[in-house]
A and B are shown apart, each in its own frame.
Chain A
Amino acid sequence: MLTAILILLPLLVSGAIVALKPSMAKFIAFATSFILLVISVIAAFHFDKMVTEAQFAVNWPWITSLGINFSVGMDGISLLLVLLTTILMPGIILSSLRDESKPSTFYSLILLMQSALIGVFTARDGFLFYIFWEVALIPVYFICLVWGGENRGRITLKFFIYTLTGSLLMLVALIYLYYQTPGSHTFDIQSLYNAGHGLGESQQVFVFVALFLAFAIKMPVFPFHTWQPDTYTVAPVQGTMLLSAIMLKMGIYGVIRWLIPVVPAAVILWGPVALALSVIGIVYASCIAIVQKDFKRLIAYSSIAHVGLISAGLFTLSVVGMQGAMIQMLSHGIVVFAMFYIVEIIFERTKTRDLSQLGGIRNVAPLLASVFVVVMLGSVALPLTSGFVGEFLLINSLVQYKLWLGAVAGLTIILGAVYMLRTFQKSMSGETNGVTALLTDLTYHERLVLYPVVILIIVIGIYPGPLLGISEAAVNNLLSLYSDISASVK
């Protein structure tokens, strides 16, 4: 029942606040997202870590004639992502506190987005999952289109069509699985799993390709990433935060929930290809990030690199890799959220994102610089930051899988350090110049957004145990499928 509240409450409020005044709408949206945070934290405390089935579940009939139900629930994997969403949403709304230019529709769209995202992370019905997946695209598209930067029409349309292509492929795969379910067909997740397991190898490969493309475009994995840097750059900061911090987790979650358990034979066969693409993406995106001049674009490329590592870890099909992916998803979400916010703060005051024009911010805005240091260290995975836990587990799993792959993927940390430290040196240290001289330090509400993030980065880095505990049972359950298969092969 809690899950349904988490989805329906923001949806209802989103509809209600359209007609209100912007300041009122902003306040109500923030209050709603805060209530959702409280609800999800309560859910986390009541969550039974030993149970592998979905908890707080509801199953209401929706389109009965086609076997489609409104069936949602959370297991450990879902819960972590729901937590990520509910933690970041108040921050995203708060980040626009001073911005008077946004009408109430803006906040309505953000809440709609939250509803759809939580829906994606908790859906236990294939059709429902698809609907939420698509609905999540609409608000973020309009946020980017209406409040975006230069050339936004063309760039956001490319983004929309690119992701829609993937989604339609996924829809075809889901329909195909639907028709393999026995009796009068159903979209229930367990029935779809069984239908997938029953397929022959070549059919499984077909389903794998269709689903993987959908998720790979969303993440994005090399070479399906071409929409991403432009879209991130052109989007307003809240849009970029939504896209990078939460929305790309939809792709990773899709792989965990709707790809790996559905077509095991094809994953064993073609997983290595996906893994290889992910590792190529890591190196490729890191190298491009090094030569970026635009601060926001640099973060966008670094995001591709980090996501590549997560995706590579998933396809090792080991508990370590999967757990690493879970924790790194949280960490990446928080870090990239803070990173884009810092970029926005600098851009707002200096009107430039060009790294070569910045410099010496440390001298005029020490708080901003210190927050940036912590976030940056989280990004380059320094021990005792959240990034370290995730990347350590992920690289560990890759090393166990193939030593040289682990070595190549490990480049992400080294190259990450190169471009991040270079960014720090160019923007924060050095001589204060004409552009940055008038830069003011963090205001009250900016601190309100950034300090919790800094605390989270460090707390998760020191004590990740409870979070790992939440997803452990679900991950073990998920991968037991593969140990069964390898056991039967032996």
Chain B
Amino acid sequence: MNALFVICGIGVFSLLAEVFNLKKWVTVISFAGLILAVGVLIKDWSTMSYYYHGMLFFDRFAIAFTCLILVISIFWYWMSGDFFKGEAHRTDKSALVFFVIAGAVMMVAFNNMAVLFLGIEILSVSLYVLAGSNKENLFSTEAAFKYFLMGSFATGFLLFGMTLVYGATGSFNIPAIASFITSNSFLPRFLFIGILMMMVGLAFKISAVPFHTWAPDVYEGSPTPITALMSTVVKIGAFAAFVKIFSVCFARFNNTLIPFEQGIMVLTLVVANVTAVYQANVKRMLAYSSVGQVGYLLLAFSSDNVQSSGIIFYYLTAYTVASILAFTVVQIIETNRGSANIVNFNGLLKSNPLMAIAMTVAMLSLAGIPPMAGFFGKYLVLTLSVSKGFVALTVVAVITSLIGVYYYFKPIVAMYQSSGLPISISKSQKALLIILIFLNLLAGLTPDLVRIF
């Protein structure tokens, strides 16, 4: 809980920094604040507490996911130094990013649907602005507008779903709703409609097919650091919210909801992975990949929504670490060579070996090749679904991950052929790449370190 205060505090500080002319302190304070917040969380690890009359609930699940969000935010902040370089709106952007993080933390730790809604809105509204923060670029503006339209549409669904659930159960409190549903055998029919509408709203946020259509354009148009933020921090928050709502709140309808979840899952896996094959731009390809990865998470979740939370945590860790790594490289490529087209990856091995190795590690991890962390994540998902008897779905997941190998290897093939002009990177970028490569291997080789609950 204190971590949330720290995050909001930094956000407010960033806003005030403009007024009191403290701009140069923003970066330092942000870093220090994030590390402080992680420390506070680790201190609270073995506790379990409610705040504000049960509006927020920090248990192991919430603390672990919050920790993941904050650690990834630190790396995100590290990679996107350039994004804050320009004098214009530097503090505003920083403040908005911290509000995104705060929103994500609320989506992880909510215990009341009102807080969930608040979290989603804080996160989304900040993101709409950030997506359009590159004002001179037409695509960035388009991305912001598209994201705003689709996002508010999804919010509408979510809100309508919540009102229906509230109407049926008389409460916004998650445990209260759960106990009302389990104790009453006669429930109004519109409750179920409400639940489905909430699922649609949340599926928009986690960008599962068929509610993913905004993702590729928004990912491609936004400034790369914001794309990285969307595919890591925002994804963790949104998926954790999805897990919490459907495994705690509506646990009783599990058997009824599984076909819906599995339908979304199969669509997500097939459509996203097949479409990704045809992308010529790595940023857009990563957008489809981030949609596709949700499919594996949904496979784990729909196989067993209680046991799977540890697996989902591991998978998200592996996925976000690899994503941040990939986006770091993509960003450097974009600043040096104009765009992230696959052609621009040609000969990267000769231009800058460290970047080529980093991108290779990221792609291998996303494709699920051992000994990278991504492999172990996929392994855990597949074992869970096999053990629950979903063999056909496992086969679909295996086939789509093979398709995945094909497109994840496209940049690899490009990087190791021909040659291009050398690219030089700063010491801090070098350190970031090395640390992320190391983390990726560490999580893959000693998975017990990350499987903390």
Contact = CB atoms under 8 A, between A and B. Distances in A.
Interface of A: 63-65, 105, 130-131, 134-135, 138, 142, 145-146, 152-153, 156-157, 160-161, 164-165, 168, 171-172, 175-176, 178-179
- By secondary structure, the A interface counts as helix
Interface residues of B, number: 28
Interface stretch (B15-23, B34-42, B230-238, B379-387): B379-387
Contact of B387 (A156, A172, A179): A179
Nearest to B380: A66
A175 B395 CA distance: 13
Contacts of A146: 349, 416-417
Interface of B: 349, 353, 364, 369-371, 375, 379, 382-383, 386-387, 394, 398, 401-402, 405-406, 409, 412-414, 416-417, 446-448, 451
Contacts of A64: 448
B383 A175 contact: yes
A161 B379 contact: no
5 contacts: A63-B447, A142-B416, A145-B417, A160-B409, A172-B394
A105 B383 CA distance: 35
Nearest to A154: B413
A164 B405 contact: yes
Given A135-B371, A172-B382, A175-B386, A161 B448 contact: no
Contacts of A65: 448, 451
A168 B416 contact: no
A171 B416 CA distance: 29
A64 B451 CA distance: 12
A179 B402 CA distance: 24
A172 B398 contact: yes
Given A65-B448, A130-B370, A131-B371, A165 B402 contact: yes
Given A65-B448, A145-B416, A171-B379, A161 B405 contact: yes
Among B387, B394, B416, the most chain A Cβ lie within 10 Å of the Cβ of B416
Contacts of B402: 161, 164-165, 168
A168 to B, nearest CB: 5
Nearest to A133: B370
B378 to A, nearest CB: 10
A165 B401 CA distance: 10
A65 B380 CA distance: 12
A142 to B, nearest CB: 7
Contacts of A175: 382-383, 386
A135 B441 CA distance: 13
Among A130, A135, A160, the most chain B Cβ lie within 10 Å of the Cβ of A160
Contacts of B451: 65
B362 to A, nearest CB: 14
A392 B340 CA distance: 58
Nearest to A158: B406
A160 B405 contact: yes
Given A63-B448, A65-B451, A161-B406, A172 B386 contact: yes
Given A145-B412, A156-B413, 6 more contacts: A130-B370, A134-B369, A134-B375, A146-B417, A175-B383, A178-B383
User: A-B pairs with the 9 shortest C-beta distances?
Assistant: A153-B413, A134-B370, A146-B416, A131-B370, A145-B416, A168-B398, A175-B383, A175-B386, A157-B409
Nearest to A142: B416
Given A152-B417, A175-B383, A157 B406 contact: yes
A199 to B, nearest CB: 15
A341 B58 CA distance: 64
B387 to A, nearest CB: 6
Given A160-B409, A161-B405, A164-B402, A176 B386 contact: yes
A64 B449 CA distance: 11
Contacts of B414: 153
Nearest to A131: B370
A131 B445 CA distance: 10
Among A135, A153, A176, the most chain B Cβ lie within 10 Å of the Cβ of A153
Among A131, A145, A168, the most chain B Cβ lie within 10 Å of the Cβ of A168
